[in-house]
Amino acid sequence: MSVAAAAREPCPARSSAAVACYWALTKPEINFLIAIVTFAGFYLGLPAERHGFPFLLLIHTLLGTLLVSSGASALNQFIEWRFDARMRRTARRPLAAGTLEPASALRFGLALSFTGVIYLAVAVNLLASLLAAVTLASYLLIYTPLKRKTRWCTLAGAFSGAMPPLIGWAAASGGLSSEAWVLYAILFLWQFPHFMAIAWMYRDDYARAGYFVLPRGGRGAFMSWQAVVPALALIPVSLIAGSGVAYHVLACIASAVYLFYTARLALERSNTAARRLLMVSIIYAPLAFCLIPLDRL
């Protein structure tokens, strides 16, 4: 029996189980981080001369962004469900496990994506909507197919993955400044150690499914430099994002800890080191994007 068959559980069309299947398609754990970094971009992008905090605009921004993100996750799983079924890490996803029909996931993903893009255009502004649409298109049409073609897929995916703070900034200000691109750079660089930890932990899974997340030969060396160099660059970039002494101390400590665990993975190349780095990366990203707004209070 295949891994996918072993994970197969009925998912009735009209039941709480069906709701759970569709909820899983949206990848809520990723949406949590997206909400945080979008909020940070929104807060920091607010004009200094504002009168009161635009709570309604923030709600519109978060809702539209999360709709697009959820739709992208569902469509990604629709595209890759046959490959997901070959991997132990993803075999229990609704489509890979056969608990949801691909056509249902396609309709769900398209509905969320288009609703989110249109919602942002109407309720927020055209720039935020355009950035969300570019994120969606690049994630599905560039990053997703590249995973089965080249080891540089992580670089392509990082460009689209770092867009949420730009969406938040554009929603608040109607434009993008150099400060917005600093936030983008932080999230862009953060992704490499994070994804290399996952790639190393599940390297055999990825190879079995035909993904080129790591090269066939020299996987350890490729993983090491693609994780360590961005983690090292993250230290000076994160310091640019704030101006207070307290922020600089905390940002430097957080980035140094992230670099330390990244370097341990590069040296040890073990699953234990990869798991530790993954946990640190999950803590680092929301912490960094919470510290930056606090520095402006």
- Predicted confidence (pLDDT) per residue in 194-252, tens digit: 999 999 999 988 888 888 888 776 688 899 999 999 999 999 999 999 888 999 999 99
pLDDT for position 212? 84
Q: What is the pLDDT of residue 50?
A: 77
Q: Cα separation of 217 and 182, whole Å?
A: 34
CB 185 within 8 A of CB 289: no
Whether domain 14-175 has CATH 1.20.120.1730: the reply is no
Burial class (CB in 10 A: 0-12, 13-18, 19+), 155: middle
**Could you give the count of Cα atoms lying within 13 Å of 155 in the half-sphere of its Cβ?**
11
Question: How far apart (Å, rounded) are the C-alpha atoms in residues 65 and 112?
Answer: 10
pLDDT reported for residue 151: 86
pTM: 0.91
Residues 106/75, Cβ–Cβ less than 8 Å: yes
Can you give the pLDDT of all 297 residues of the chain as single tens digits? 333 333 344 454 457 788 999 999 999 999 999 999 999 999 999 998 778 899 999 999 999 999 999 999 999 999 999 999 988 889 999 999 999 999 999 999 999 999 999 999 999 999 999 999 999 999 999 999 999 888 889 999 999 999 999 999 999 999 999 999 999 999 999 999 999 999 999 998 888 888 888 877 668 889 999 999 999 999 999 999 988 899 999 999 999 999 999 999 999 999 999 999 999 999 999 999 999 988 776
Give pLDDT, residue 9.
44
Rounded Cα–Cα distance for residues 224 and 221 (Å): 5
Would you state the pLDDT for residue 29?
A: 92
CB 165 within 8 A of CB 132: no
| Residue type, position 95, single letter | L
Whose CA is closest to 223, among 273, 187, 180, 176? 273
For the chain, the domains span: 14-175, 177-297
